[in-house]
Amino acid sequence: MAHYIAAAVQMCSGPDRAHNLARASALVREAAARGARLVVLPEVMTWRGLRDAEAENSEPIPGPSTDAMASLARECSIYVCMGSFLERSNSSRPYNTSCLFDPNGTLIASYRKIHLFDVELPNMVSVRESELRSPGTDVVTAATPLGTLGLSICYDLRFPELYRRLSRAGAEILLVPSAFTFPTGAAHWEVLCRARAIENQCYVIAADQTGRSPHGHADWGDSLIVDPWGRVIGRAGDGEGVVLAEIDLEYLARVRRELPALTHARL
């Protein structure tokens, strides 16, 4: 499918899983009704609460949240990137995992976040994700009729080597479900999304959390869809909602043909 509509869903998730899933379902249905064939949800979309409660609120695959998203993808007959949720692991630290479902509701790819967000910004934000979550190890792409999708999550955006590996594996559309904090988002969110699109000549669909997180800091919002030339073609702004844009794989091929930078890489 050379041309289709994709959507990024922006949410303000909290500790009420049922509410989060209901809100996500309503926004996905809205996106599908507006013509979206691929919908990307934000990071930690199903449950977001106090850090010391993360392990007890993790879930297996399959589990209630993945079952709900699979059913939603099947109902709407679209591809749904679940964003991410806390996947139960064999240790006390769950994975931060993104799941991709096809229009039949089949889980076709899952990705465990590799880069864990540890940051201390005085008087602004303090997060040590590595104390609570286990890192993944695998680079994940999924070949679909909509193009080859490359999976990533939030802090991964700062590590260009991951996205180069995704593009070398055939990725054409990079999915970046996120929960970017306000200070880092204000400084770097758009720049990083556009950079990953430009250097890999890919579309980027970056769905972000918005509002105030249960941890007390503000999220950036401003979910973006960026084309392979680095132009922002969809922007959500503030608040919960849906942003849509056209994915044009013929245009992507033309960008790569006319500026064949990916074929010139020597490292």
Query: 206, 8 in Cβ contact below 8 A?
Result: yes
Q: How confident is the model at residue 217 (pLDDT cuts 50, 70, 90)?
A: confident
User: What pLDDT, in 10s, does the model give residues 227-243?
Assistant: 999 999 999 989 999 99
Q: Residue 124: what pLDDT?
A: 60
Q: Residue 122: what pLDDT?
A: 66
Question: Beta-carbon neighbour count of residue 130 at 10 Å?
Answer: 13
For residues 181-204, average pLDDT: 96
For residues 161-176, average pLDDT: 98
Q: Residue 123: what pLDDT?
A: 66
Task: Given the residues 43, 59, 172, 240, select the one marked as catalytic.
Answer: 43
User: What pLDDT, in 10s, does the model give residues 246-256?
Assistant: 999 999 999 99
Task: Given the residues 87, 113, 172, 193, select the one marked as catalytic.
Answer: 113
Is the pLDDT confidence value at 113 over 80? yes
Cα separation, 20 vs 6, in Å, equals 21
Token digits for 206? 């970056």
Task: Print the SS3 string covering the chain.
Answer: CCEEEEEEEEECCCCCHHHHHHHHHHHHHHHHHCCEEEEECCCCCCCCCCHHHCHHHCECCCCHHHHHHHHHHHHHCCEEECCCEEECCCCCCCEEEEEEECCCCCEEEEEECCCCCEEEECCCEEEEHHHCCECCCCCCEEEECCEEEEECCHHHHHCHHHHHHHHHCCCCEEECCECCEHHHHHHHHHHHHHHHHHHHCCEEEECEEEEECCCCCEEECCCEEECCCCCEEEECCCCCEEEEEEEEHHHHHHHHHHCCHHHHCCC
Is the pLDDT confidence value at 121 over 70? no
User: What pLDDT, in 10s, does the model give residues 76-91?
Assistant: 999 999 999 999 999 8
Identify whether 154 is a catalytic site residue: yes
More confident residue, 128 or 151: 151
Identify whether 59 is a catalytic site residue: no
Q: Structural domains in the chain? A: 3-259 (3.60.110.10)
Cα separation, 123 vs 235, in Å, equals 29
Q: Residue 125: what pLDDT?
A: 64
Task: Given the residues 76, 81, 99, 154, select the one marked as catalytic.
Answer: 154
% of the chain exceeding 70 in pLDDT: 97
Is the pLDDT confidence value at 118 over 90? no
More confident residue, 119 or 245: 245
Q: Residue 22: what pLDDT?
A: 98
Cα dihedral 148→153→156→160 (10° resolution): 20
Q: How confident is the model at residue 173 (pLDDT cuts 50, 70, 90)?
A: very high
Is the pLDDT confidence value at 51 over 90? no
